[in-house]
Structure 1
Amino acid sequence: MRVLIVDDSPVLRLLLRSVCEDAGFEVCTADSGEQALTLLESYTPDIVTMDVHMPGIDGYETTGRILERYALPVVVLTASANANDAVTAMRALAVGALAVVEKPRGLNAPDFEQRIDELLRTLRSLAQIKVVRRPRPAAQPQKTSPVPKPILQAAPRLVAIGASAGGPVALKSLLQGLQQVPPWPMVLVQHISTGFLPSFCQWLASLVSFSVQIAEDGQLLQPGVLYLAPDGKQLGVNAEPRVQLQEGTAQQQFCPSIDHLFNSVARRLGNRAIGIQLSGMGRDGAVGLAELRRQGALTLVQEPGSAVIDSMPRAAIDMQAACQILGPEQIAATLNALARQEATEQAGKGGGASCTTTLKS
């Protein structure tokens, strides 16, 4: 496996080179974003590690330029204690970086082995992933096909969203496409490295006009708020709906797990929910989304061609869990139409639950 390490610190480059070569990787290094872009003209790595703050162009801009030109997985390395680094790392995730990992602090740090194990595990798992190039948007927006009208069996009380690698790209498009504060609570499980959730929450809040919070056990879910599953906890809901947090078990590969959220929502709210599956690696969420659909919920799956990583959407589609398969902007359009429908019904004091609004792109 070939790794390109991009970092302006000679000490970190030397440390990371040693660690990666000891693991059997072929290593090339760059001390700046500019040098990395030059190297990539003649060197093709399997994966890139990216520092965030460097002289010249930073890790965010370098990641964006790399993904414009090459279909390469990028892993961002940062110090989680540094707020500026964390914010830049979130921006890099938003342009298509697959993961953010805390840098090893040095050979004498008490968590050195843990950080190295996490880094090597991340590189091995993501190096084989096929990613898509992320060209900058064209000056003239492209026309999109009309979105099929959604059919609901009952008025929704909750929107549950699952995302993993590449999810921040889709979430940005989806959330920024919402035309008003959503009339329902929204609950999100996003796979992200431990310790970066507060920065991710802060970044999401910068995109929208409504509140974004990390969920707390027993919390009553309020309309117009986006709740994030906390690190190391399984997030479910009861029928009110309130947050129900649980410790993960050895049988559960992910904690938090998208399947756990979707299955809980299916049990407690059934057809009074909307489930959304976005970009990600693996199959987490597919079984739970299929159960949501079986219970009559509206289930929306990101169109695989629009996803940075398409395996999670494809797994959901393969299980016939999708009522509709849409791009992130079209998912936002669907939610906008349902919100307008709900506002119209409330204004007219009509209790009909079915939605027959035809959406336009």
Structure 2
Amino acid sequence: MHILVVDDSAVARLLLSTIFIEAGHLVTQASSGYQALELLQQHSPDIVTMDVHMPGLNGYETIGRILELYNLPIIILTASANAKAATTAIQALAAGALAVLEKPVGPTVPGFERQINDLLRTLRLMSEIKVVRRTRSTATLTAPMVQPPSPVTSPAVIAIAASAGGPAALKLLLSELDPKIPWPVILIQHIAAGFLDSFIDWLQQLSKLKVGVACHGQELQAGHIYLSPEGFHLEYDARHRVKLSLASPSDLNIPSADRLFHSLAQHMARKVIAIQLSGMGQDGAEGIKAVSQSGGLCIIQDPETALIDSMPQAALRLAAPHCVLSPQKIAFFINDLQHSKRQSLSQKESE
């Protein structure tokens, strides 16, 4: 594997290069975003690791320019103990980076071997991912005319599943979503440990809906976005309350979108709106199939608009969705549904 290491710190570049070379990989180094773009004209790396705090062209701008030109997976390395660094890392995910990990500091720091193993494993996985190249678009999106589908007669909850590339999709979806939607939103987003609080803060900046961590036994309220606590799966029980269960280290996806979707299909059936966004792997595909079979409404992100199309494609292979849309148009679709519900309620009140 050929890795492009982008970091303005010579010490960090040396440490990372040593780790990667000892693992048998080829390394090219860049000390700035501008140098990274120059080197990409000469080299064809399989993956890029990057710090977001760099002089000149910062990490966000560098990510954007790289993804406009190359189908390259980008991993952000940062010091998660620093709240500011964690927040900027989340913003980098929204710009198109696939994952954020702790940057190894040195052999004398506790957990160094674990950090190296996590980093090398992530690089191996992400280097095999097909990244959809981005293009600049100045076209104005207009809300599509949609007819509310018959399977969901009265929606009660929205469930969203996302993984790698998910923050970029969520940024587009939540910025267009009407804050007056009359349903709670449950969000499953695969994200590295230690970044949940920063991710919630970032979501709260995007949306006027209240964002927070769900509690076991909680009743969900309309106009709120709920996430699972770190290390827990989030499901829905027969009493229509939150069910949290401690994840096992052997679980492939934490939290699991499949577990949430299956529980909603079992206990909410036709009242579920299930949405599958960008991500790596197949989490959510079996669950969204169950939602579809129970009469719920299934929406899948158009794979052509997903940074990573594995999860949308997996869902499309198993389920027959009602809509396949871009993130913005998913928001427009949901807005239309809630407007239709309000009109229906108004008509009933006037009769």
Give TM class, smaller chain: over 0.9
Q: Kindly provide the CA deviation profile for residues 277-331 of structure 1, in whole angstroms up to 9, marking residues without a partner as x.
A: 0011111100000001111000101111111111111111101242221111121
Q: Which residue of 1 aligns with 2:336?
A: 337
2:270 partner SS: coil
**What is the TM-score of this pair, normalised by structure 2?**
0.95
1:222 partner SS: coil
**Percent of aligned pairs with the same residue?**
49
Query: Whole-Å Cα distance in 1 between the matches of residues 349 and 47 of structure 2?
Result: 55
Q: Kindly provide the CA deviation profile for residues 232-285 of structure 1, in whole angstroms up to 9, marking residues without a partner as x.
A: 101001244321100124663112111011011111111111100001111110
Query: Whole-Å Cα distance in 2 between the matches of residues 297 and 251 of structure 1?
Result: 30
Shift of 1:23: 0.9
1:212 partner SS: strand
Shift of 1:33: 1.1
Q: Which residue of 2 aligns with 1:303?
A: 302
Query: Whole-Å Cα distance in 2 between the matches of residues 25 and 251 of structure 1?
Result: 27
Shift of 1:151: 2.6
Query: Whole-Å Cα distance in 2 between the matches of residues 84 and 162 of structure 1?
Result: 26
**What is the TM-score of this pair, normalised by structure 1?**
0.93
Q: Which residue of 2 aligns with 1:7?
A: 7
Q: Which residue of 2 aligns with 1:65?
A: 65
Q: Which residue of 1 aligns with 2:22?
A: 22
1:173 partner SS: helix
Query: Whole-Å Cα distance in 1 between the matches of residues 239 and 347 of structure 2?
Result: 25
Cα RMSD (Å):
1.7
- Give yes or no for the alignment of 1:141 onto 2:144: no
1:276 partner SS: strand
Shift of 1:179: 2.7
Q: Is the 8 A contact 2:76 2:100 kept in 1?
A: yes
- Cα distance change on mapping 1:174 and 1:142 into 2, 3 Å: closer
- Give yes or no for the alignment of 1:174 onto 2:177: no
- Give yes or no for the alignment of 1:105 onto 2:117: no
Query: Whole-Å Cα distance in 1 between the matches of residues 32 and 330 of structure 2?
Result: 38
1:113 partner SS: helix
Q: Which residue of 1 aligns with 2:242?
A: 243
Q: Which residue of 1 aligns with 2:158?
A: 159
Query: Whole-Å Cα distance in 2 between the matches of residues 112 and 245 of structure 1?
Result: 31
Equivalent AA in structure 1 for residue 4 of structure 2: L
1:338 partner SS: helix
Shift of 1:146: 4.8
Equivalent AA in structure 2 for residue 43 of structure 1: H
Q: Which residue of 2 aligns with 1:208?
A: 207
Q: Kindly provide the CA deviation profile for residues 75-122 of structure 1, in whole angstroms up to 9, marking residues without a partner as x.
A: 011111212212221111112111011111211111101111111011
Q: Is the 8 A contact 1:150 1:334 kept in 2?
A: no
- Cα distance change on mapping 1:239 and 1:156 into 2, 3 Å: farther
Equivalent AA in structure 2 for residue 245 of structure 1: L
Q: Which residue of 2 aligns with 1:357?
A: none
Query: Whole-Å Cα distance in 1 between the matches of residues 119 and 320 of structure 2?
Result: 33
1:340 partner SS: helix
Q: Which residue of 1 aligns with 2:74?
A: 74
Query: Whole-Å Cα distance in 2 between the matches of residues 270 and 145 of structure 1?
Result: 26
Tell me the matched-pair count: 350
Shift of 1:144: 8.0
Within 5 A, what are the aligned runs for 1:232-311?
232-249=231-248, 252-311=251-310
Q: Which residue of 2 aligns with 1:359?
A: none
Q: Is the 8 A contact 2:157 2:184 kept in 1?
A: yes
Q: Which residue of 2 aligns with 1:325?
A: 324
What 5-or-longer segments of structure 2 have no aligned partner? none
